[in-house]
Structure formats: structure tokens, C-alpha cells
Amino acid sequence: MTKEEIGSVELENKTMAGPGGITYQRGSSMVKGHRLQELLIEKVLLFFTLLSSILIFFIIFFVVSQGMPVLKANGLNFLVSGGWDKQFITAWQAAAGNPVWEFGALPLIAGTFYTTLGALVIAVPFGTGCAIFLAEMCPAWLQKPLESAVRLLAAIPSVIFGLIGLMVVVPFIADTFITNELALRMIRICALDGTSLLAGIIVLSMMIGPIFIAVSSTAIKAVPRRYKEASLALGVSHWRTIVKVILPAARKGIYAGAILATGRAVGEAIALSMVTGSVANLPSILHGPVFFLEPMRTLASTIVDNSEGMSVATCTSALFACGSLLLLSSIVLSLSARLVSRGMRKGGAANG
């Protein structure tokens, strides 16, 4: 072999240091194989990302297109009028040649709003307190078991919460707050038997609480430790440091936890169907405290309760119209979460 050929072979076999101290041969087939493998993984991930996006788009398109006939037939009346139960039965029993397209979902929208808002009013303050305890005050030996318990509660199926609500919460409400005189006075409006808005709020707050606690405690722990150390070094008490320094720095993560909890609350169906009475009734604030004892129904539980009407085209379109409203709320919540996370990336934990 000539000197040029020998030099070329030595150059190809020469090793070079790579990331982490790993050596490889320049021009070897091993490097080419790794590059090909990385390129293949990148393309596969890109394919599944695009496929997921396309599937989500088609799901949204399918749900909205199926609900469009009822939305077009009723317009804004679908959002601002009631009478769902009677209208659904009428549409179900109507002759095939004379379909009924009149539906009003106001009681369902109001029920979803009331239960979600009420659950957040309970879950957010108590959940924030629990998150502060887990992240800042809990003894080290107790922290891991409590965190595991919170995550376990977040993973419990909703039907279990529904059973607990039906066996414990509903009888408690019926025995504590509903008297015979009150039931007789309200009989012309609705039957009071314990299944109510209040039961739905209590059960829903139990369901979304663990999710909010888990996310909020993680956000509090993510606050740089130097913030706390600097505050304590200036003589500020531990509790005042938590309130004035740590919580403001973690508020973006707490907002994100509240948004996730709201999404869970809006889409909950089974548990609320079991404890709220499953009646498309619009509770009235004019009734005073009885407002919380009246039965109601949410958009999600309506889809479950009235699923037997899917054999009728008008009823099917009405249920898909309810699903379209749920999709719209999910999109709004998703965009809100994106805005919150965007603010976190721009400003960081400290700037909020």
C-alpha cells in the first residue's frame, strides 16, 4: 500500500471524543446508524403528532356538525330558553315525518355553571391551604404518604365519588336541611329529596380538590428556595413569607391547577348524574337558601341520562349540541392554560 492509502485508513479508524466522553470512529457505520435511528424516531414522533392533531380536528368537526341542525333551528334560543325535559320527550315521541327541533338548554348550562363555580369556591381555598401545608409545613416523614394519598384520590373513578355522595351526602342533606313543611311548600316547583345542587357541589369539590392540590403543591415547591431564604434573612416570619413571597411567585402554577380542576368539573357526568337529581330544573336565587336544595342537571350528565334518545335524529342532534358547548368550554380552558403557561415561560416564577 502507498503512504497515502495507509494515511487514509488510519484517519478513518481514528477515534474522537463525543458527548459524555463517549468515543466513536469518524466515518464509521455506527455513527451513520445512530443518525439514521434519530431521524427515524423524529419522523415517527412527527407522524403521531400530526395524526393526533388531525384526529382532534375531526372529532371537533364531527361533534359540531352533528349538533348543527339543532343549533341552526333554535339559534340563541338554545342558550337562553328552558324546558329541556318536556322538549326531549316530545321530540322522542314525534312522528318520523314531523320531527321536533325545539330545544332549550339554559337549565343545563346554568347547572354546569353553578356546580363548577360552587365546587371551585370550596376546592380552591381548601386546596391552597393543603398545598401550602404539603409544600412548606408538613414534616418530612409525613410528606410522601400524604402526597401519595392525594394522587390516589385524584385517580379514583368518578362513579365511586357518586356512590359516596348518594349514600352519605344526599341522605345527610335530606335529613338536615329538608323538612316536611319545606318539601310541601316547594312541591309545585320541584321535589326536594336530597339530590340537589348542594350535593353536586360537595361531591364535585371532593373530586377536583386532589387535582388542584397536586398541581398547586408542585408549583409552590418550584419557587426558588433563595426567595424564601432571603425573606427569612430579612426577619420576615415564615407564614408572612409564604403569603407575601412564595404564593405570589407560584400563582401562575396555582392558576393552572384551577384551570385543570375547572376542566374536570365541567366535563364530569356520572357522579353528578347520581347526586343532582337529573332534572332539567333551573334553580332560582329568588327562592332563598332553598336554591341549593333544588335538583338540577348539567350538560355532561344530560348526555348520559338521555343517551337512550340517540335512536331519534332530533334527540341525537340535541345531545351533540350539548357536546358542542362542552367542547367550546374545553377549548376556552385549554387556551387559558396556554396563556398561563406562556406567562410562566416569559416572566418566570418570580415575576409571575
Q: Which CATH number is 247's domain given?
A: 1.10.3720.10
All three cell numbers of 152: 390516589
d(CA 92, CA 305): 14
How far, in whole angstroms, is CA 85 from its chain's centroid?
27
Is residue 23 included in any domain, yes or no?
no
Length of the chain: 352
Cα–Cα distances in angstroms (integers) from residue 285 to residues 24, 85, 186, in the given order: 75, 21, 14
Query: Do 110 and 299 form a contact (C-beta atoms < 8 A)?
Result: no
Number of compact structural domains in the chain: 1
Is residue 67 included in any domain, yes or no?
no
| Nearest Cα to Cα of residue 249 among 341, 347, 333, 143 | 347
Is residue 144 included in any domain, yes or no?
yes
Cα–Cα distances in angstroms (integers) from residue 146 to residues 138, 149, 208, 264, in the given order: 9, 5, 17, 22
All three cell numbers of 6: 495507509
pLDDT recorded at residue 350: 42
Beta partners for residue 16, in sequence order: 24
Query: Do 162 and 274 form a contact (C-beta atoms < 8 A)?
Result: yes
d(CA 44, CA 339): 29
Is residue 333 included in any domain, yes or no?
yes
Beta partners for residue 15, in sequence order: 25
Is residue 62 included in any domain, yes or no?
no
Q: For every one of its 352 residues, what pLDDT tens digit does the chain have, with 9 covering 90 and above?
A: 555 554 544 444 444 444 445 444 555 667 777 788 888 888 889 999 899 889 989 999 999 999 999 999 999 999 999 889 999 999 998 877 888 899 999 999 999 999 999 999 999 999 999 999 999 998 989 989 999 999 899 889 999 999 999 999 999 999 999 999 999 998 888 889 999 999 999 999 999 999 999 999 999 999 999 999 999 999 989 999 999 999 999 998 899 899 999 999 999 999 999 999 989 989 888 888 999 999 999 999 999 999 888 889 999 999 999 999 999 998 888 888 778 766 555 444 444 4
pLDDT recorded at residue 124: 95
pLDDT recorded at residue 198: 95
Is residue 234 included in any domain, yes or no?
yes
d(CA 63, CA 91): 20
Dihedrals phi, psi of 277, to nearest 5 degrees? 100, -20
Is residue 291 included in any domain, yes or no?
yes
Alpha helices in the chain (DSSP H): 3-13, 29-74, 77-80, 84-93, 106-132, 140-155, 158-164, 170-177, 180-185, 197-221, 225-233, 238-241, 247-267, 270-275, 299-305, 313-351
| Domain membership of residue 281 as a residue range | 108-351
Is residue 52 included in any domain, yes or no?
no
d(CA 215, CA 193): 36
